[in-house]
Amino acid sequence: MKNTGKVADEYRLPSRFATLEAGRFVAAFGVVLFHASITTALPKYLGFFAMPILAGGFSGVEFFFVLSGFVIVLAHRRELIKDNNSLAILKEFAWKRFSRVYPVLWALLLVLVPAMLMIPQLQWRPPVTHIDILTAFTIAPVPVERILAVEWTLRYEVLFYGVVGLALWKRKLGVAAISALIVCATASFIFKPGGLAAFFIAPYHLLFIAGGSIAFAAAAKPLRGGRIILTTGAAIFLWRLAVCAAHPEQRAATFWDTAFFGAGAALIVYGLVALETRRSFRVPSWTLYLGKASYSIYLAHFPVVSLAAKLGLLVGGRSAPLLYVAGIAATSTAAGVLFFEVVEKRVAAFLQRIKPRFR
């Protein structure tokens, strides 16, 4: 007898999506290029944008958010359609999310925070307080980043994990929390609050939800229109990159940047999933490796960008601005890969050895 309890066609899903794994690196490297560009444009370095085309590199964050929503929901889709799950499932989910995000971040902060306290000149937004340190280690929402500039994205990640955790525990609570995120994201079209409220009244929540929606759709049946949707998403992305390149002095994403990059990212993820569900793709092995290292690259690159910018001036960076920016990006990426090899892989191996049994 046919088992109608199974989700239709879900076995057509590949065990992994190579194009999305490679996309992790592309997104992380885009952020590295963005930070290399805006840092060197400061008056104490070049004083101008040597490569305006990099001004939209922050869009890697929008891609990350959509991809994160897709990956988390796809991994837990069976549990999320149930009304209630056992406490063991919730504990396992919490452990996986904690072990993926926190220990590697803590390893970096344990170096960065003492250095900032001992050398105040390293504080890019002083003064660093005990509250700043506490919220950095807990990844709690804050109005302003003072220690690790890129950590603001992790705060949205952790918020989304909390919502998914609620949905795994009590589906009705999860639905209510997701509805609240949608309301907050929609409100950001109208309201532009300051302070901590700006963290919650933001469009980023919709990107996670878009990725999760794609995951549910892909699990239900093979997605169609992969090529045209992927092409459309890429076109939107490239168009918005051109808009940002025309105004590099903007230095940060506007609401409409997030909206268009987010829409483009959602269409790209949909298109890649649709195509790879129907046939496998071979991508260069080095892109898969760098995709695995993308979290370390993303976390570790920002402090290195600042250091490399200073050192680059000593070797004539102003006389070769393009090479100066490229060298900073390459050095920062290499530092992230080194952090992956020396820290993240060892932390992951240790956590695997001490992993609790939940069932």
Q: What pLDDT score was predicted for residue 12? A: 62
pTM above 0.75, yes or no: yes
pLDDT (mean) for 241-249: 91
Q: What pLDDT score was predicted for residue 5? A: 44
Q: What pLDDT digit, counting tens, does each position of 112-170 carry?
A: 999 999 988 777 777 889 999 999 999 999 999 999 999 999 999 999 999 999 999 88
Statement: residue 311 has pLDDT above 50: yes
Say what percent of the chain tops pLDDT 90.
76
Statement: residue 209 has pLDDT above 80: yes
CA–CA gap between residue 88 and residue 92 (Å, rounded): 6
CA–CA gap between residue 207 and residue 295 (Å, rounded): 19
Q: What pLDDT score was predicted for residue 6? A: 45
* Average pLDDT for the chain: 91
Amino acid at 306: S
Q: What pLDDT digit, counting tens, does each position of 160-172 carry?
A: 999 999 999 888 8
Q: What pLDDT digit, counting tens, does each position of 333-357 carry?
A: 999 999 999 999 999 999 999 988 8
Q: What pLDDT score was predicted for residue 279? A: 81
In the structure encoding, which two tokens stand for residue 193, read together? Answer: 């609050």
CA–CA gap between residue 120 and residue 109 (Å, rounded): 16
Q: Residues of 17-38 as b/e, b for ≥16 C-beta within 10 angstroms?
A: bbbbbbbbbebbbbbbbbbbbb
What is the SS3 assignment for 44? coil
